[in-house]
Amino acid sequence: MSSAHVQLTFRKGYPVRRPSLFAALACAATLALSGGVAANASSTATTASAELTRYIVTLKPTAKSQVPTLATRQVEEHAGVLVGTYRYAFQGYTALLTPDQAARLGKVAGVASVEPDAKVTTFAQTVPTGIQRIFADQNPNLDIDGVDDVRVDVDAAVVDTGVDLTHPDLNVVASTNCTTGVCVAGGNDDNGHGSHVAGTIGAIDNAIGAVGVAPGARIHAVKVLDSTGSGTLSAIAAGIDWVVARASTIEVINMSLGCQGCTSSAISTAITNATNAGIVVVVAAGNSSLNASGFFPANHPDVVTVSAVSDFDGKPGGLAGTVTVPCRTDGATDTDDTLAWFSNFGTTVEVAAPGTCIYSTWMNGGYNTISGTSMASPHVAGAAAVLTSGANKPTNRTGALNVRSRLISTGNLNWTDDSTDGVKEPLLDVHDATQYPPGGGGGNQPPIASFTNTCDNTTRACTFDASASTDVDGTIASYAWNFGDGATGTGVTTSHTYAAFGTYTVTLTVTDNNGATAPTSKSITVGTPPSICTGYQQSFSGSLTSGQSVYQPSTSGYVTTASGTHRGCLDGPNGVDFDLYLQKYNSTLGTWQQVASAISTGPDETITYNGTAGTYRWRVHAYSGAGAYTGGYSRP
């Protein structure tokens, strides 16, 4: 939905001196009610006189199991709407509240902070020049030779616009969509930025496209930004919480996002707790050609902050004179082997990495060449992935910070820092096989799990086929299935019938002949959804196109002679954003006024409203998408 926010510019290609190809958090913005209510949470009536705004609430330390109960009670006591809860990266929740409600909630015992949510937007097989410049192709442990025979045994989370989940050059093993502030199934990239980041971290070393610093690393796609590169602080908080809940699996987080002059105690706590869990958090410094100390989370004490170097030939030494930037068409120039002119700098930065004209994977199975500290950061995240691979996984804060120290100590100074800040950060260098990975590589390579499925929505019977799973240095000995409803199975092919309509996360785990395992998960929707609009006095149906509205029972509405409860329900088609409003006629002003609304980002809405006698009508609105709908309402 529309909202009041600070809109920052996103440009594909080479960033200018304002935020571009780097996620900027517009933290000073006050976000009006803008959808994003979890699909499994009922939309609740709001009064026109007290508009609800998203807030992120951080609780004081409490048991993880108590968070949902505390959040529900606190929100109900303050007449707000609970969006989602967070238990792992920090204890807290997101809620819709009026400013007065938020102020009162902030004084409740057990509440550490209440801060307004805000909009975020992205600032935005050839061996890429960046891979060459950090000498990844010279490390025999990484075996970058165009043959998919070595994959780095590590898991990296890309907190971004999502990742192309089926890209042939990426090993995506898990995904989630946290754009509403609640993480649900999904995570496919509809922007491109996140897929580019993922490729620099771990594109597969094969005969196509690009190759990453940690070839074949298992990518966990955490979508916190939408197709325009826009999102919210609550989405980022939810995304980090999703990752920390999987700290036993994930070693590295890359966040190519940030904001100038702002902070978030919730996200700051989440980053600290991620580090405490042994996860290495890598962050882009920013693209404003300013000191990174004024940017968050680049200035967080636990992260690895990365600036960008312009390198055009993948070699040290610097080309003579100025160079026309090859990935731009406007004649822009820069100097080889220097700090990229857009890059932030300063003592907050730990490591520099190539960030100009970086070739990597893109959405829809494609490839693209773009620039930014967003592109420098995943070089370092990939190096951190190598350091934490296999048996080298950190499990606590000390281990995670030791990886940061190793990234700094193994860098080189063979570049020109022209930032004038007096501090020359080391340039990432992963050539040393004794350091990347420590103790050398080799050994048994884990298998690669992959499966397809077909389902009959009438019978809810599904078949699953894992024959596409492979093992580059052996054979697959077993296949274990978890169908997401408590049932399990075995075998390269199997079948399962679900008891009810729903979306289920199916996980396949394959084990090779040397005992190495690899999982992959996929969300499937099975069956035909039942109508949610049953038990109402009056029913209605129709069809809408995007931007169109219709009134029920008519534009004139209906008259109630007594106070009481109005209940409304809307059941829209999948994949659209339909909204429901209740309006009351003001005879004094001669106008209709909105008294309640249900405006989540999905197709289905419900409203319960207690009102006085008067004339009412329901408005059904297609915010985006088109199709047939049904619904119903009851009146006093």
Contacts (Cβ under 8 Å, ≥6 apart) of 50: 98, 100
User: Cβ distance 5 to 26 under 8 Å?
Assistant: yes
Asked whether residue 425 is domain-assigned, the answer is no
107, with CB counted inside 10 A (0-12, 13-18, 19+), is exposed
CATH number at residue 569: 2.60.120.380
3-state secondary structure (DSSP) of residue 68: helix
Of residues 5, 20, 169, 193, which has the active-site annotation? Answer: 193
- 289 and 385 in a single domain? The answer is yes
Per-residue pLDDT, 35 = 27
- For 578, half-sphere exposure in the C-beta direction (CA atoms, 13 angstrom radius) is 28
pLDDT of 568 strictly over 80: yes
User: Cβ distance 210 to 126 under 8 Å?
Assistant: yes
3-state percent breakdown (helix, strand, coil) of the chain, nearest 5: 15, 35, 50
Of residues 268, 374, 450, 469, which has the active-site annotation? Answer: 374
User: Cβ distance 380 to 255 under 8 Å?
Assistant: no
Q: Mean pLDDT over residues 166-172, rounded?
A: 94
Asked whether residue 427 is domain-assigned, the answer is no
User: Cβ distance 132 to 126 under 8 Å?
Assistant: no
User: Cβ distance 532 to 547 under 8 Å?
Assistant: no
Asked whether residue 505 is domain-assigned, the answer is yes
Of residues 117, 148, 153, 160, which has the active-site annotation? Answer: 160
Q: Mean pLDDT over residues 349-377, rounded?
A: 93
pLDDT of 405 strictly over 60: yes
User: Cβ distance 82 to 101 under 8 Å?
Assistant: no
CATH number at residue 464: 2.60.40.10
pLDDT of 28 strictly over 50: no
pLDDT of 442 strictly over 50: no
Q: In the annotation, is 621 catalytic?
A: no
User: Number of structural domains, the chain?
Assistant: 4
- The DSSP call for residue 163 is B
Given 499, 526, 553, the domain boundary residue is 526
What is the extent of the structural domain holding 81? 32-116
- 361 and 320 in a single domain? The answer is yes
User: Cβ distance 1 to 34 under 8 Å?
Assistant: yes
Q: Mean pLDDT over residues 179-208, rounded?
A: 93
Whole-model pTM?
0.65
- 166 and 39 in a single domain? The answer is no
User: Cβ distance 382 to 437 under 8 Å?
Assistant: no
Angle at CA of residue 618, ends 616 and 624, nearest 5°? 155
- 97 and 222 in a single domain? The answer is no
State CA 72 to chain mean position distance: 25
Q: What is the mean pLDDT of the chain?
A: 85
Q: In the annotation, is 193 catalytic?
A: yes
- 271 and 330 in a single domain? The answer is yes
Length of the chain: 636
User: Cβ distance 135 to 73 under 8 Å?
Assistant: no
CATH number at residue 98: 3.30.70.80
Asked whether residue 423 is domain-assigned, the answer is no
User: Cβ distance 59 to 240 under 8 Å?
Assistant: no
- 507 and 594 in a single domain? The answer is no
Per-residue pLDDT, 123 = 54
- 167 and 227 in a single domain? The answer is yes
Q: Which residues pair with 242 in a beta bridge?
A: none
As a whole number of angstroms, the longest Cα–Cα distance in the chain is 85
100, with CB counted inside 10 A (0-12, 13-18, 19+), is exposed
Q: Mean pLDDT over residues 54-72, rounded?
A: 92
Given 92, 116, 140, the domain boundary residue is 116
- 482 and 565 in a single domain? The answer is no
More confident position, 493 or 122: 493
Q: In the annotation, is 456 catalytic?
A: no
- 517 and 369 in a single domain? The answer is no
- 510 and 542 in a single domain? The answer is no
The structure tokens 């950090």 sit at 134
Per-residue pLDDT, 32 = 24
Asked whether residue 9 is domain-assigned, the answer is no
- 187 and 303 in a single domain? The answer is yes
Asked whether residue 20 is domain-assigned, the answer is no
Per-residue pLDDT, 260 = 84
- 505 and 552 in a single domain? The answer is no
Per-residue pLDDT, 46 = 35
Asked whether residue 340 is domain-assigned, the answer is yes
CATH number at residue 223: 3.40.50.200
More confident position, 313 or 27: 313
User: Cβ distance 195 to 182 under 8 Å?
Assistant: no
Q: What span, in angstroms and rounded, lies between the C-alpha atoms of 58 and 44?
A: 23
Confidence of residue 161 (pLDDT cuts 50, 70, 90): very high
Asked whether residue 552 is domain-assigned, the answer is yes
Given 489, 505, 526, the domain boundary residue is 526
